[in-house]
Amino acid sequence: MVDVIPAPVSTGRTPSGSTRLDAGTALRAGPGTEGVARWLRTALGASTGLPFPEAADGPHRIELGIDPELPPEGYRLVADGHPVRIHGGSAAGVFWGAQTLRQLLGPDAFRRAPVRPGRDWDLPAVTVEDGPRFGWRGLLLDVARHFMPKEGVLRYLDLMAAHKLNVLHLHLTDDQGWRIEIRRHPRLTEIASWRARTKFGHRASPLWEQKPHGGYYTQDDIREIVAYAAERHVTVVPEIDVPGHSQAAIAAYPELGNADVVDTTALSVWDTWGISSNVLAPTDTVLRFYEGVFEEVLELFPSEFVHVGGDECRKEQWRDSVTAKKRMAELGLADEEQLQSWFIGHFDAWLSARGRRLIGWDEILEGGLARNAAVSSWRGYGGGVAAARAGHDVVMCPEQYVYLDHRQAPGDDEPVPIGFVRTLEDVYRFDPVPPGLTAAEAAHVLGTQANVWTEAMEDGARVDYQVFPRLAAFAEVAWSRLPAPEDRDFADFERRMTAHYARLDALGVAYRPPTGPRPWQKRPGVPGRPIEGPPPNM
């Protein structure tokens, strides 16, 4: 058996035993695969100590090539002797084949330097035919609540690539911090990127970390992240949250808030969790400000999609605001839900005019969905189903299944327990396409995404604990053509995870062990917000 995660479409073993890689093994890159060869030589060269010199011919080699007969992200890996061949329908397919090659070499192939210098490396004699089920296989990292330094983001791009995930959704702004340099609005990083203190645990916790927290990515940091991702065939989708979750921006620029309702000059970057009532004012000043923000964002991120949030926008201030009521009257809007729809619709048209596509959380359905918008369905399947039936594209990320900040087990040992119990098996039995959609409607499901919200994750080790090993199960759901959830062979997945834990160890991932948290992973006395019982099927 081949212990590859995510599971390939098909594998075949041959009787020839194994294929040896040694100091004489060359690497031949066909046209269009030069970037994959560069990555493979760097990654495997570091872990094996082998030079993998370039070679135009000669039998003892790894050969990379494009085969237009294969699906764009599909690949065929043949290791039944030399040459070892990895062919893909595109460079991306070849890259995913190279990731499988690394898994076949064993966990030491994931290290940054040889731990057994001078050894030869044996590949099992195998043929792998593979390709993904979904084109959008995503991970959201919330870097606004707790900032993740650039090196951490680059590390997560490597971890995503190792699991054949291809979309990094960066949640860059929220009430608790602004994380991207916008040169025309310097106070967004001078003021909005730092908060004076931080709530430790759930928002009901009495505990505080009494020191400033923050940070941001310079525009060159973003360029580096985007380029690093592209080398690994990962697209970075930025999120600038509007019109809610905006207190940090208003603290830096009080004119963005509802100044006829509250004293916006007295606001600071929020230091606790929850949903702030301080939302953007529906004014032309705000529209022009955020158009400037998005102009710089588009220069940095070449992604087709730009996420605008649109979730959890509290309406109290709009209901009390003379300015908001005047805008509603001018536009002939019936209520504040339609006012939010107008706000999102403005940026849908603005982005469409620049060749981009807006995507937002499923609240953007309320009051009417913008013409070209796609939906991230987080409150269950319902929003995604409604959008797909209306002809809009959808990314399925229901919190009841793939919010990795939710706790992994019952009991008091789980650190800062949040939400429903979502075990490794629960994630493995998630299906991004709910029953009831027609084939045409299901075609609007672009794929799926696991979301990591970091209110209760104060550092990278806590993020690792919440994300792994469940991200491995999610990756298989997103990539592999699995049976119906109830028919999936979780025992086989657990067996393959035995090998995968060794890879995670080699990568330095502080995952949750199957037996429960290690002593240093616990957070005794830090309250969370556990929800008892099974999650609702929404």
Mean pLDDT of the chain: 96
pLDDT, tens only, 287-297:
999 999 999 99
Residue indicated by tokens 């690497």: 27
State the Cα–Cα distance between residues 324 and 319, nearest whole angstrom.
7
Q: Which of 146, 163, 233, 245 is catalytic?
A: 245
List Cα–Cα distances, 358 to 39, 166, 443, in angstroms. 32, 19, 19
312 catalytic residue (yes or no): yes
Q: Which position has the token pair 């429903």?
A: 420
Q: What backbone torsions phi and psi does residue 415 show, to the nearest 5 degrees?
A: -70, 125
215: left (phi over 0), alpha (psi -120 to 50) or beta: left
What's the burial of 122, exposed, middle or buried (CB within 10 Å: 0-12/13-18/19+)? middle
Amino acid at 164: K
Q: Token digits for 121?
A: 């490396």
Residue count (the chain): 538
Q: 135 with 235: CB under 8 angstroms?
A: no
Q: How far apart are the first and last CA of the chain?
A: 38
pLDDT in tens, 124-183: 999 999 999 999 999 999 999 999 999 999 999 999 999 999 999 999 999 999 999 999
Determine how many CB atoms are found less than 10 A away from the CB of residue 124.
19
The helix/strand/coil state of 16 is strand
**What residues contact residue 33 under an 8 Å CB cut-off, 6+ apart?**
64, 65, 66, 88, 91, 94
Q: Is the peptide bond before 469 cis (omega within 30 degrees of 0)?
A: yes
Q: What is each CA distance from 160 to 164, 169, 238, in whole angstroms?
A: 6, 12, 17
Q: Across-strand partners of 177?
A: 174
The answer to whether 398 and 382 have CB atoms below 8 angstroms apart is: no
Choice among 312, 316, 431, 505 that is catalytic: 312
Q: Spell out the per-residue pLDDT of the chain, length 538, in tens.
A: 589 999 999 998 776 678 899 999 999 999 999 999 999 999 999 999 999 999 767 778 999 999 999 999 999 999 988 899 999 999 999 999 999 999 999 999 999 999 988 888 999 999 999 999 999 999 999 999 999 999 999 999 999 999 999 999 999 999 999 999 999 999 999 999 999 999 999 999 999 999 999 999 999 999 999 999 999 999 999 999 999 999 999 999 999 999 999 999 999 999 999 999 999 999 999 999 999 999 999 999 999 999 999 999 999 999 999 999 999 999 999 999 999 999 999 999 999 999 999 999 999 999 998 889 999 999 999 999 999 999 999 999 999 999 999 999 998 999 999 999 999 999 999 999 999 999 999 999 999 999 999 999 999 999 999 999 999 999 999 999 999 999 999 999 999 999 999 999 999 999 999 999 999 999 999 999 999 998 987 7
Copy the structure tokens of residue 369: 């969905």
The contacts found for 105-111 with CB under 8 angstroms, 24 or more apart, are 105/21, 105/44, 105/48, 106/502, 107/499, 107/502, 107/503, 107/505, 107/506, 108/47, 108/506, 109/44, 109/47, 109/48, 109/506, 110/47, 110/162, 110/503, 110/506, 110/507, 111/46, 111/47, 111/506
Query: What Cα–Cα distance (Å) separates residue 226 from each residue in 36, 293, 374?
Result: 17, 18, 22
Catalytic: 245? Answer: yes
Token pair 């298989």 in the structure block, residue = 476
Q: CA 196 from chain center: how many Å?
A: 28
- DSSP string across 209-256: E-S-EE--B-HHHHHHHHHHHHHTT-EEEEEEEESSS-HHHHHH-GGG
SS3 504: helix
DSSP state of 451: E
Active site residue 202: no
Question: Dihedral of CA 524/525/531/533: which sign?
Answer: positive
Q: Strand 418-419 vs strand 394-396: parallel, antiparallel, or unpaired?
A: unpaired
Report whether 245 contacts 309 (CB < 8 A): yes
Q: Which residues fall within 8 angstroms of residue 80, CB to CB, at 6 or more apart?
A: 14, 16, 19, 125, 126, 127
Per the CB < 8 A criterion, the answer to whether 30 and 63 are in contact is yes
